[in-house]
């Protein structure tokens, strides 16, 4: 657990935090070691197995523990939790930019590789010509020769259909291995049949749960991943702005339809009922039972001077999301599956809270340290100079 906290606090990979643990005595002391260790005590893959074993509920309890620790140290007060800001962002998945040519080639190569593993002979694997077609498609599109590009992509679609039908015919006499092909054939058939304007599409072979979300950004019109809801305190706590709640939301839900669930989970996890919640215009039509406690950006009616001041602070959640993406691991999720999306959002939020707690402790103890050792430090610096 200590390795996972350190990983999120310092934005390291599983391999990176394991390598640093061997050389950093502070990392070892944080994880409970009394003497310096020269060898890593576990396998790196144990971190992956641990995430799968503990699941989402344990990560929720870790986020709760970070808030409890902040409250116990005085970095977060109860009154800050009563007034919150809720917003959503996109957690991109670690996939390549999806194109029809890439997906069809990946489906062909994966099916032929699986057939080779189970000794199923195919009429043709299309390994050589499919790769040439993929390269030609990218070159034609770069040169704006769309007719030639679409002609090559049509060939890839035809070859994919042939491979699918060939494997299905071979599996009639090989029922003992049919179960190994069920998922792959299902994904390949969906890639072969999907059209441009279909709603439920596959954008990645290894991550079929990825969703295409339009955010309206000029530099990035579409992002591929899942929605994540982030809740923070609207008024600054002594330790800063903490992540009070985080949840990955699949199915591309409308923001307003998620507000009831998010506020209920915030109350369950913190034990404090939110008096006021501030949201942006994407939450219009939320239908929360206590509509008088939900305030939307730009609202003019039914607000007092205090609410107006707090409503202006609704945008504090935006830099918080930026920190989670740039300094944390919310900007690119490398964990597998839907469970990986949920765990990553929770672990990143917990790691960010622990970073704020460390900064709060440094703020408290640094004046005491200077008062006790400041004169000796200045004397040593003078002698060295």
Percentage of the chain modeled with pLDDT above 90:
71
pLDDT band at 374 (very low <50, low <70, confident <90, very high): low
Locate tokens 């040519």: which residue? 101
Measured between alpha carbons, how far is residue 254 from residues 227, 259, 285 in Å?
Answer: 10, 9, 10
Task: In whole angstroms, give the CA distance from residue 313 to residue 280.
Answer: 11
The yes-or-no verdict on residue 369 having pLDDT over 90 is no
Q: Which two tokens stand for residue 113?
A: 């590789």
Q: Tens digit of pLDDT for each residue in 195-206? A: 988 888 999 999
pLDDT band at 365 (very low <50, low <70, confident <90, very high): confident
Mean pLDDT score, 118-135: 94
* Highest mean pLDDT, choosing among 144-158, 189-203, 281-295: 144-158
Q: Tens digit of pLDDT for each residue in 12-40? A: 999 999 999 999 999 999 999 999 999 99
Task: In whole angstroms, give the CA distance from residue 355 to residue 11.
Answer: 11
Locate tokens 């992540």: which residue? 243
The answer to whether the predicted template modeling score (pTM) of the entire model surpasses 0.75 is yes
Q: What is residue 383's predicted lDDT score, i.e. its pLDDT?
A: 53
The yes-or-no verdict on residue 384 having pLDDT over 80 is no
H/E element, 249: strand 243-249
pLDDT band at 152 (very low <50, low <70, confident <90, very high): very high
pLDDT band at 93 (very low <50, low <70, confident <90, very high): very high
pLDDT band at 110 (very low <50, low <70, confident <90, very high): very high
Rounded to the nearest integer, the mean pLDDT of the chain is 90
Locate tokens 């999306």: which residue? 341
Task: In whole angstroms, give the CA distance from residue 158 to residue 165.
Answer: 11
More confident residue, 259 or 291: 259
pLDDT band at 366 (very low <50, low <70, confident <90, very high): confident
Mean pLDDT score, 267-293: 87
CA 258 to chain centre: 18
∠173-176-180 over CA atoms, to 5°? 110
Task: In whole angstroms, give the CA distance from residue 136 to residue 236.
Answer: 55
The yes-or-no verdict on residue 105 having pLDDT over 80 is yes
Alpha helices in 174-316 (DSSP H): 178-193, 255-270, 305-312
Q: Which two tokens stand for residue 68?
A: 């409890």
pLDDT band at 378 (very low <50, low <70, confident <90, very high): low
Among 354, 330, 309, residue whose Cα is nearest residue 230: 330
- DSSP track, 13-33: -HHHHHHHHHH-HHHHHHTT-
Q: What is residue 321's predicted lDDT score, i.e. its pLDDT?
A: 94
Task: In whole angstroms, give the CA distance from residue 207 to residue 220.
Answer: 21
pLDDT band at 302 (very low <50, low <70, confident <90, very high): confident
The yes-or-no verdict on residue 71 having pLDDT over 60 is yes
Q: Which two tokens stand for residue 150?
A: 């679409």
Q: Tens digit of pLDDT for each residue in 305-323? A: 888 998 999 999 999 999 9
- Whether 75 and 237 have beta carbons less than 8 Å apart is answered as yes
């Amino acid at each position: 657990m200590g390795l996972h906290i350190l990983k999120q606090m310092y934005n390291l990979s599983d391999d990176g935090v394991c390598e640093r643990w061997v050389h950093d005595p502070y990392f070892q002391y944080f994880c409970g070691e009394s003497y310096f260790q020269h060898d890593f005590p576990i396998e790196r893959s144990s971190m992956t197995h641990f995430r799968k074993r503990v699941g989402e509920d344990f990560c929720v309890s870790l986020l709760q523990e970070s808030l409890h620790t902040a409250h116990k140290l005085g970095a977060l007060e109860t009154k800050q939790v009563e007034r919150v800001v809720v917003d959503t962002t996109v957690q991109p998945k670690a996939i390549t930019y999806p194109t029809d040519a890439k997906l069809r080639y990946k489906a062909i190569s994966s099916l032929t590789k699986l057939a080779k593993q189970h000794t199923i002979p195919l009429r043709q694997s299309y390994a050589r010509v499919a790769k040439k077609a993929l390269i030609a498609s990218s070159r034609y599109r770069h040169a704006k020769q769309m007719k030639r590009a679409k002609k090559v992509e049509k060939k890839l679609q035809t070859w994919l259909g042939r491979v699918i039908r060939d494997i299905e015919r071979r599996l009639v006499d090989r029922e003992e291995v049919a179960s190994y092909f069920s998922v792959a054939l299902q994904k390949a058939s969906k890639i072969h049949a999907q059209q441009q304007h279909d709603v439920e599409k596959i954008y990645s072979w290894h991550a079929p749960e990825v969703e295409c979300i339009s955010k309206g950004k000029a530099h990035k019109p579409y992002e591929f991943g899942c929605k994540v809801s982030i809740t923070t305190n609207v008024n600054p706590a002594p330790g800063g702005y903490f992540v009070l709640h985080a949840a990955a939301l699949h199915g591309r839900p409308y923001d307003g339809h998620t507000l009831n669930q998010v506020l209920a989970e915030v109350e369950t996890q913190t034990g404090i009922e939110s008096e006021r919640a501030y949201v942006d215009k994407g939450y219009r039509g939320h239908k929360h039972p206590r509509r008088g406690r939900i305030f939307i950006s730009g609202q003019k009616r039914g607000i007092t001077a205090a609410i107006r001041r707090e409503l202006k602070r609704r945008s504090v959640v935006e830099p918080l999301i930026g920190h989670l993406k740039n300094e944390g691991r919310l900007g690119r999720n490398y964990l597998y599956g839907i469970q990986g999306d949920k765990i990553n959002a929770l672990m990143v939020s917990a790691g960010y809270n622990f970073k704020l707690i460390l900064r709060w402790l440094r703020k408290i103890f640094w004046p005491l340290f200077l008062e006790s050792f400041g004169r000796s430090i200045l004397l040593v610096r003078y002698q060295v100079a």
